[in-house]
Amino acid sequence: MSVAHLVFDLDGTLVDSAPDIHAAVARMLAGEGREALDLAVVTSFIGLGLPNLVQRVIGHCGMDPSDHARLVGVTLGHYNAGTNALTRVYPGVIEALTRLQQAGHAMAVCTNKPEAPARAVLRDLGLEGFFGVVIGGDSLAVTKPDPAPLHACIAALGGGPAIYVGDSEVDAATAVAAGVPFALFTEGYRKTPVPGLPHRAAFSDFSRLSDVLAGMQAGTSEPA
């Protein structure tokens, strides 16, 4: 069997970026004279891109919806001004990516985070050398769960068999829409119990990822 291309989600899959996103939202809210939200609340808003996250913040805080575009810009400005100081790579990710790269897998990132901040996270955390392709939330006219970003990643890698690795409801829906096998990282930002999400395989430890993906390619993996 040919070596499958691998496409990864970013936030909640490769990295825990919620603390830096939370900090940017807190700065935006402070500028509006509002109290900061709890980290858990902001984390629950992650997944459909920054405009959706800010929309949900506005609704949660009872702010004026007509300010949405301005507040997206303010929040993105605060996020871009940061240094990803609070963002962390999940344990075992770098070792797993190294093994997969050495095994001949071409890899891409497909995220709803805007492309420039996504590339900055990869650069700052020592991950950019693993990924020849990065499709962000502003790279195309649509975002996940539309399948187009995932299809664009696979096409940019050269086409052919691919596996998508993600952590959330959005990722699972994207994989289904794209017709691509999905591996679910269970320690990210999902809100639905694991059995409630469509997936070919599930894993909680990146040290297992090579074996999980090999099983998927061989057709032996079962949802966990």
Q: Which amino acid is at 223?
A: P
Q: What is the rounded CA–CA span in Å between residue 156 and residue 159?
A: 7
Which stretches of the chain are assigned E, i.e. beta strand? 5-8, 15-16, 88-89, 107-110, 133-135, 162-166, 182-185, 201-203
Which of 9, 16, 167, 171 is the catalytic position?
9
Cα–Cα distance, 193 to 38 (Å, whole number): 22
110 - beta bridge partners? Answer: 135
67 is catalytic: no
Residues shown for the chain? 224
CA pair distance 54, 25, nearest whole angstrom: 8
DSSP state of 11: B
Residues taking part in catalysis: 9
